[in-house]
Structure 1
Amino acid sequence: RAMQSYLTPEQRQFYADNGYLVIDSFLSPEQCEELRKECHQLTATFNLDEHRTIFDAKNRDNEAKQSYRSQQYFFDSWNKVAFFFEKDAFNDNGELTAPRNQCINKLGHYLHVECPGFRRVTFDPRAQAISRDLGFQVPRICQSMYIFKQPRIGGCVDSHQDATFLWTEPTEPHLIGYWIPLEDTTQENGCLWFVPGSHRSGLVDGRRFKREIGQDGRVSMTFVGRDPNEIVPIERYVPCEVKRGSLVLIDGFVLHMSKENGSQKSRDSNTWHVIDLPPGTSWSSENWMNPPDVSSGFELLRKD
């Protein structure tokens, strides 16, 4: 029998035209609270000394120059729950400058495997149906994150296309981001902004985040192609303010960003990426995530 579809024809059309789609009330307020609790519990109990690394999404070029140790921590996080701090989180003595749950930028990148609440949401039958509705044949979950957009200090995330970081060969990625804010998002607390229709133009200036191995055998990451911020005028971005529990679907090629959170309100969100890997399409070995075996490392979202 035909599988049940979830998206209406109008929703599919909007997604095809714009490169993103908002689905209201995907999660209930109670489900949002459960996810927040699970995540805040993790941040309250982890061993700080094992996890001192800083994630600065504004200046990703600096990520390539971060200490070898913190970079290795980043590479190793593809199959565990790792903790990334805001850049002003530590003082010169290596002590936190605020309570730990206010100093963390994000958790990643294996929440859909390690955390029961996140797993339930990721494998929700509606999330599976969406991947089918959008033509994914062999959808694999390549990463999941919990992003804290901290009050007052939550930094901006510069404009980017997700495909820059999650590439496939020889065909370009068929990639979708699922993004669920667990609190209402506004322009004040750092909502998403999109350039509608930008997904139809492919990668801006061929921009890729590529893995390179130096002569000393150390792996580093380098950007190829110019930054979209230098190319695409800011006036083309439109704000996407949504209520908590909404699901925002993000095409792998649509330009999007978020500004600083200068407000007193947090803006926690749960997000995961699904990539289509049918026979003949392979995960690029130049991606920062480099599982030894993609078919066991990146779980199937659905098995039909």
Structure 2
Amino acid sequence: MVGMTSAPSATAPAALSPAQQLEQNGFVRFTDVLDPVTMDTLLLRAHATLLREKEAAREAVKSNGSLIHLSDNPEYADVIGSPKIAELLREVGATDPRWTGGFLISKPAGGPPLFWHQDWWGWTEPESYDVRAHQLFVMIYLTDTTPENGCLRVIPGTHLRDHPLHHLEAAHSEGLQSFANPDAVDYAAHPDEVAVPVKAGDVLIGDSRLIHGAYANRTNEERPLLTLWYMPHWSGMSPGMRARGMENYLRRDDIHTSVARPLTPLDWTPVLRQRVEAVLPTYEDSEPPVPWHRTPDTSRLIPA
């Protein structure tokens, strides 16, 4: 199991550890983590999940392809609580990783590109400008990916450094998600972008502050992805940060749901919940959550 970046322009020296690669570039790729049987099983589950998703729901998030919350689908418990994933999180420096959510994000055949964005929500807080990440994405592509079928693309270093793409329209707006304006610069190629193709079984871990997107899927096959969100230093975070993380986990800010009270692992059967118990967040403090704020103060980032 080897941590590595994905392209010559982003390749770190061999001496760098996965944690150092994450700190330097904002992402790291681990190869051959999950075995073929596991990948086949996850792929079958994903196709079954997608069959249940309504077409209108997918159209509303056309740029993403789908945004199906994994708390509604406890059949993914084994990957959320996977000891292999926990091991990788430790390799990149996580001290107390806790899962706060995840999605099946699947780009259909002919699907458009995913807009440029970063996913961090705590930019009002001083620690958001530290080198250490407070939220990590774990991406598990269920098929081999390339720029042809919609692989990840990133702007290395933008988890810490200002970049012109920080100054675009706020991420995840309805217009961007629905691909309302295909000519918007938010979807366009950028000279700083680096493609991150992977093989099924590889795992990508990245800093939620990293600016990233995805290419269009120009093939005739679905390109499914599981994105898992972990807060890597749960017990070391401020109470307000943990409170906001709990809000995310309990889906109190989740607009992508059609049920009155969104499901969480608290609603799963005991057998399935036991599979994720070690990575579920808990909160006993009374501090209110920090504000939900996706836009960084770019004056506090490293200048472009």
Q: TM-score, normalised by structure 1?
A: 0.62
Quick one: distance in 1 between partners of 2:265 and 2:123?
14
Could you tell me whether the CA contact under 8 Å between 2:99 and 2:280 is conserved in 1? no
The residue that corresponds to 1:241 in the other structure is 197
Find the residue that maps to 1:32 and give its secondary structure: helix
Structure 1 residues without counterparts, runs of 5 or longer: 1-5, 60-85, 87-104, 212-219, 223-227
- CA distance in structure 2 between the partners assigned to 1:221 and 1:192 by the alignment: 21
1:145 counterpart residue number:
103
Q: Distance in 1 between matches of 2:221 and 2:18?
A: 30
- 1:262 matches 2:218: yes
| Equivalent position amino acid for 1:188 in 2 | E
Deviation readout 1:103-130 (Å, 9 max, x if unpaired): xx3252134x7333x2111211122233
Equivalent in 266, 273, 288 of residue 253 of structure 2: 288
Alpha-carbon separation, structure 2, partners of 1:10 and 1:107: 32
Letter of the 1:15 partner, please give it. L
Cross-structure match for 1:271: 227
Consecutive unaligned residues of structure 2, counting only runs of 5 or more, are: 4-14, 177-183, 256-260, 268-275, 282-304
Query: Equivalent residue of 1:106, what SS?
Result: coil
Q: Which secondary structure state, in structure 1, belongs to the residue aligned with residue 68 of structure 2?
A: strand
C-alpha contact 2:22 2:92 (8 A) present in aligned 1: no
Q: Secondary structure at the match of 1:201?
A: coil
**In 2, Cα distance between equivalents of 1:55 and 1:144:** 20
Change in Cα spacing, 1:258 to 1:206, as seen in structure 2 (3 Å) is: closer
How far apart, in 2, do the equivalents of 1:251 and 1:261 lie? 24
RMSD of aligned Cα (Å): 4.3
What SS class does the counterpart of residue 205 from structure 2 fall into? strand
Distance in 2 between residues matched to 1:133 and 1:28, nearest whole Å: 19
Give per-residue Cα distances to partners, 1:121-172, cap 9 Å, x unaligned.
1211122233334443443322211122111x32211111121xx4376342
CA-to-aligned-CA distance 1:240-286 (integer Å, 9 cap, x gap): 11111110111111111112111123211111111244343231779
Q: How many residue pairs align between the two structures?
A: 235
Rounded Cα–Cα distance in structure 2 between residues aligned with 1:138 and 1:158: 31
Counterpart in the other structure of 1:69: none
Alignment deviations for residues 220-250 of structure 1 (CA, whole Å, 9 cap, x no partner): 999xxxxx956x9800001111111110111
Q: Secondary structure at the match of 2:230?
A: strand
Alpha-carbon contact 1:140-1:299 (below 8 Å) kept:
no
Partner residue, 2:139: 179
**2:122 maps to 1:167:** yes
The equivalent of 2:20 in structure 1 is 13
Question: In the alignment, which of 36, 39, 44 is matched to residue 46 of structure 2?
Answer: 39
Pairs within 5 Å for 1:33-182? 33-44=40-51, 46=52, 52-57=56-61, 105-111=65-71, 114-116=73-75, 118-151=76-109, 153-163=110-120, 166-167=121-122, 170=125, 171-172=127-128, 174-182=134-142
Partners of 1:209 and 1:221 within 8 A in 2? no
d(CA) in 2 for partners of 1:148, 1:41:
12
**Alpha-carbon distance change, 271 to 295 in structure 1, aligned in 2, over 3 angstroms:** closer
SS in 2 for 1:178: strand
Distance 1:279 1:21 in 2: 26
Contact 2:152–2:195, Cα closer than 8 Å, also in 1: yes
Separation of aligned partners in 2, 1:288 and 1:254: 22
What is the aligned counterpart of 1:193 among 128, 131, 153? 153
Q: CA deviation at 1:27?
A: 1.2
| Counterpart amino acid of residue 202 in structure 2 | S
- Call closer, same or farther: CA 1:23–1:52 in 2, change over 3 Å: same
